Amino acid sequence: MENTENQGNWLKLLIHELNMPSTAEFCRKANLNRGLVDKLAADAHSPRLDTLKKIKSAFPETNMNWLISGQGEILVDVQDDDEVKLLKQYRSKIKSEANQRLVEKFSVSVDYFVRDYREMDELENNATAQDVKDKKLFNFRVNLLLLQYRRQLAIDLLLQVPKSGTLLTGSIPGLKEQYSDLLDHLNDEILKTVKLVKDDVVSNPEETEQDEASETSLDEDLIDDESLIDDESLSDDESLSDDVGRDLAELLEYAGKAGELNIDDKE
């Protein structure tokens, strides 16, 4: 093998880059004879193709082009089947559209998915630990899904608040703070739902009433109607089908209103 850049040292460089604790460990993993490896390391023997294939098979991150020619990086990223599949979907369905807004939305959606999945997984683990029955667990699952989607809408609205207003509307004082307060409230509700907290322990009824009034006022300012969803968990005595249907309908209406608020930004 002609290796102009690393003549006589290519194998030592590789063993070092692979963080092998010893040459013996490299030999064991690569299934190579120690005598052969010592000769290769001393540049007293040129490797055959089958030897390079053994090294590549044992250490997939090794750059085959570097092994043969000495050119390029010694190690490269290795993509497993799942990564290859996801990259293929991204290139065919997202990147091919050549739409920067779509690419950004995809990136944000990945973050949403990972966070939402972890929260739902934690909820399931808490339910198992607390022996929560199927009917109650279903209520928590539905409530968590609705809260997570509301959080996504609130984040989108917060990110699109004009920093200095627009020519048509001018500055909108307090709008960013309102969205931030709503986002904090939703995160608190999500945390309670994940921990399977059904009702708040109220020590001061007057404070609770003030908080509820403040939240109602905030919701009306955001969507100009009373279409936001009740954040309390579904009651065991209520009809699941009626509540879920009503919540989903109100959530869709809320999403539509949120889209109307951002029409200037989209144009």
- Measured CA to CA in angstroms, residue 118 lies from 115, 125, 179 at distances of 5, 11, 24
Distance CA 105, CA 159 (A): 12
Tokens 């990147």: give the residue: 95
Q: What is the mean pLDDT of residues 55-83?
A: 89
Question: What is the predicted pLDDT for the residue at 53?
Answer: 93
Give the domain ranges of the chain. 10-69, 100-266
pLDDT, tens digit, 9 for 90 and up, residues 74-103 = 998 887 788 888 889 999 999 999 898 889
Q: Which residue type does 10 have? A: W
> Minimal CA–CA distance to 230: which of 210, 213, 250?
250
Most confident among 82-86, 173-177, 218-222 (mean pLDDT)? 82-86
Q: pLDDT over 90 for what percent of the chain?
A: 45
The average pLDDT across 18-47 equals 93
CATH topology of domain 10-69: 434 Repressor (Amino-terminal Domain) (1.10.260)
SS3 assignment, position 62: strand
Rounded average pLDDT over 244-267:
54
CA dist., res. 102 & res. 67, Å (int): 40
pLDDT at 235: 46
pLDDT-derived band at 123, boundaries 50, 70, 90: very high
pLDDT on residue 259: 53
Q: Which residue has the higher pLDDT, 163 or 231?
A: 163
Predicted structure pTM score: 0.53
Q: Tens digits of per-residue pLDDT, 188-210?
A: 999 999 999 876 543 444 444 55
Predicted confidence at residue 157, as pLDDT, reads 86
Q: Read off the tokens for 255.
A: 């999403």
CA-CA distance, 114 to 120, in Å (whole number)?
A: 10
